[in-house]
Amino acid sequence: MSARRTQAVVVPGGPLLLRGADVVLDEDGEQHEVGRPVVALCACGLSQRKPWCDGTHKLAQGPES
Amino acid sequence: MRLPRPRGDLSAQLIDALASGTPETPALAAGGIGDPSTDDVQLALWILYEQHYRGFEDVDPSLEWSPDLLRLRRTLETPFEAWICDLTATTVKEATEEGDDVVAQLEHLTRDQSGALARHLHREATAEQYRDFLVQRSIYHLKESDPHAWALPRLDGPAKVALAELQYDEYGDGVSARLHSRLFADALEGAGLDPSYGAYVDRASAPTLVANNAMSLFGLHRRLRGAAMGHLAAFEMTSSLPCRRYVQGAERLGLDERVVRYFDEHVEADAVHEQLAARAICGSMVEAEPDLHDDVLLGAAACLVLEGLAGDRLLEEWR
Ligand code: FES
Ligand SMILES: [Fe+2]
Ligand SMILES: [Fe+2]
């Protein structure tokens, strides 16, 4: 069995999907353990729970924001 | 779980038939059912569907495949499916006017994230109202993700891989204490409610049963796998932001941290799931099977409209 592959997927207007990571270092260098197979990293800068995306990017784009 | 209490003639006959093990009762649904969205019809349908999930302790398990009960289920499902199509027609049409990319259409349908229910729970609800909300939600969340799991053997390729990946997270990432249904049971317990499966079926409103039955309808019919995945996408795409409000509402009320934990987990998890569901599942599925495109929109619209009605019912009761 080969080790799982790490992959990053850019979502237009949304987060960066990171697959196969074990740990994420945020902008302060703090370590966040990854507990799920894929995580969404905030790429818009607006999330209230960085480094993770919390869906806030949609409010920045949506007509009903 | 034991059989629920009847809500009318049809559900009473069905419950008697199941309890006595004689499903060939001739009067069942003879002569049409009228409005398929009533308490009586929806409870009957919910009971018939439940036979395919955990079932009832007081019912012979072989009745899951009773031809008479399957015929009854079909008699109820056909008008129910037509009712859903009617109710969602304008929403589906609105999506089709947004070009022909299924992901863009789903994003368009789910763009309004300003739900009145979430706002109320965030800022105004009493603890009692918050518990009412958990009670209604328990019908789904105690079998969270199960209705969508029926689609797995009916998909192939990238869509199948993506659904499995999403559900691995719903099903606890290999840790049973993290099963989302288990996290919800913990939340119920934390709120002083009964965490056992099916404990609140008797309190489920007709719109709550409708929303749950729609998921089972889509899930149990291979023909409707597109709708099942559209439903999943819309559900996930309208979850993170409301869940943030549910977290804040629970904190405002000083509810047990297990309530907070359930919704907190979903802010983060569903920000991932919505991407997987829209792009990797629905996008790949429609690419592989373009004929399913319209059904994706049907399922998504059904999720939004029916969950909306279930939420409206709660708001009405609290008024
Ligand atoms: S990318 Fe989703 S909140 Fe920033
Ligand atoms: Fe979940
Ligand atoms: Fe989810």
Mean pLDDT of chain B: 96
Q: Which of A34-38, B194-198, B222-226, B288-292 has the lowest mean pLDDT?
A: A34-38
**Residues contacting A44, CB < 8 A, separation 6+:** A13, A14, A15, A53, A56, A57, A60
Compute CA distances A13 → A39, B268, B297, whole Å: 16, 17, 22
Residue B138 corresponds to which tokens in the numbers above? 């328990």
Q: Within 10 A of B218 (CB to CB), how many other CB atoms are there? A: 29
Please state the domain count of chain A: 1
Query: Would the CB atoms of B279 and A11 count as touching at under 8 Å?
Result: yes
- Burial (CB < 10 A; 0-12, 13-18, 19+), residue B69, is buried
Query: Would the CB atoms of B272 and A53 count as touching at under 8 Å?
Result: yes
Which pTM was predicted?
0.96
Q: Are A24 and A41 in contact (CB under 8 A)?
A: yes
Mean pLDDT over residues B191-220, rounded? Answer: 98
Ligand 1 contact via A56 beta carbon (within 6 Å): yes
Distance CA B31, CA B12 (A): 17
A41 within domain boundaries: yes
> pLDDT band at B30, cuts 50/70/90?
low
Residue of A nearest to B170 (CA): A36
> pLDDT band at A64, cuts 50/70/90?
very low
A50 within domain boundaries: yes
Q: B89-318 sits in which CATH class?
A: mainly alpha
Question: Is A62 touching B (CB cutoff 8 A)?
Answer: yes
Query: Would the CB atoms of B111 and A58 count as touching at under 8 Å?
Result: yes
- Write the ipTM: 0.91
**Does residue A1 carry a pLDDT above 60?**
no
Q: What is the pLDDT of residues B11-20, one digit of tens each?
A: 999 999 999 9
Question: Would you give the distance in Å from CA B299 to the centre of its chain?
Answer: 11
Q: How far is the CA of B269 from the centre of ligand 2 (A)?
A: 7
Residue ranges of domains in chain B: 9-83, 89-318
Q: How far is the CA of B275 from the centre of ligand 3 (A)?
A: 10
Identify all chain B residues contacting A49, using CB atoms and an 8 Å cutoff: 267-268
Identify all chain B residues contacting A64, using CB atoms and an 8 Å cutoff: 111-114
Question: Is B183 touching A (CB cutoff 8 A)?
Answer: no
Atom of ligand 1 nearest to the CA of A54: 3
Print the domain residue range for A54.
Answer: 7-59
Q: Chain B: give the shortest CA distance to residue A62, in Å.
A: 6
A64 within domain boundaries: no
Q: What is the pLDDT of residues B104-154, one digit of tens each?
A: 999 999 998 778 999 999 999 999 999 999 999 999 999 999 999 999 999
